[in-house]
């Protein structure tokens, strides 16, 4: 029996699902990857069905903060802090950053509450 099965999500995206036994063997290696800045999740389950996922703690915190913070400030701060802590990570396009922050780059910026230069 294979330790890994490809699974098709409703969106058409494909993910790899590890068996629960295989996932448990890879936890220490996954922790080392998370410590190096990798954020790729480990998806596991039985019979090729995704049932659980292991993600970095900072990613989990950002998800929780997004779920409970209507303005999105805390999660945006967490993402920014994580990226600043790991400057050697891949470059992120401005469009992706704007999307994560809930900004629409096609809309003019409302800066009416900012002080005007004297």
Q: How many CB atoms lie within 10 A of CB 67?
A: 8
Crossing angle of helices 94-101 and 73-85, in 10° steps, is 140
Find the distance separating the first CA and the last CA of the chain, reported in whole Å. 73
For residue range 61-117, what is the model confidence (pLDDT) as tens digits? 877 776 666 665 666 667 777 777 776 666 677 777 777 767 777 877 666 766 666
CA dihedral 58, 61, 65, 68 (to 10 degrees): 160
Instruction: Give pLDDT, residue 108.
Output: 73
Higher pLDDT, 59 or 77: 59
Answer whether 0.85 is exceeded by the pTM: no
Query: In whole angstroms, how large is the CA radius of gyration of the chain?
Result: 19
């Amino acid at each position: 029996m294979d330790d890994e099965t490809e699974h098709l999500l409703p969106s058409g995206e494909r993910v790899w699902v590890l068996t629960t036994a295989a996932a448990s063997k890879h936890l220490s290696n996954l922790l080392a990857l998370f410590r190096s800045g990798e954020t790729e999740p480990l998806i596991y389950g039985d019979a090729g069905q995704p049932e659980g996922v292991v993600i970095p703690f900072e990613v989990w915190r950002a998800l929780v903060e997004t779920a409970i913070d209507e303005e999105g400030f805390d999660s945006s701060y967490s993402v920014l802090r994580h990226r600043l802590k790991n400057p050697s990570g891949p470059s992120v396009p401005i469009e992706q950053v704007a999307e994560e922050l809930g900004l629409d780059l096609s809309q003019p910026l409302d800066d009416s509450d900012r002080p005007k230069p004297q």
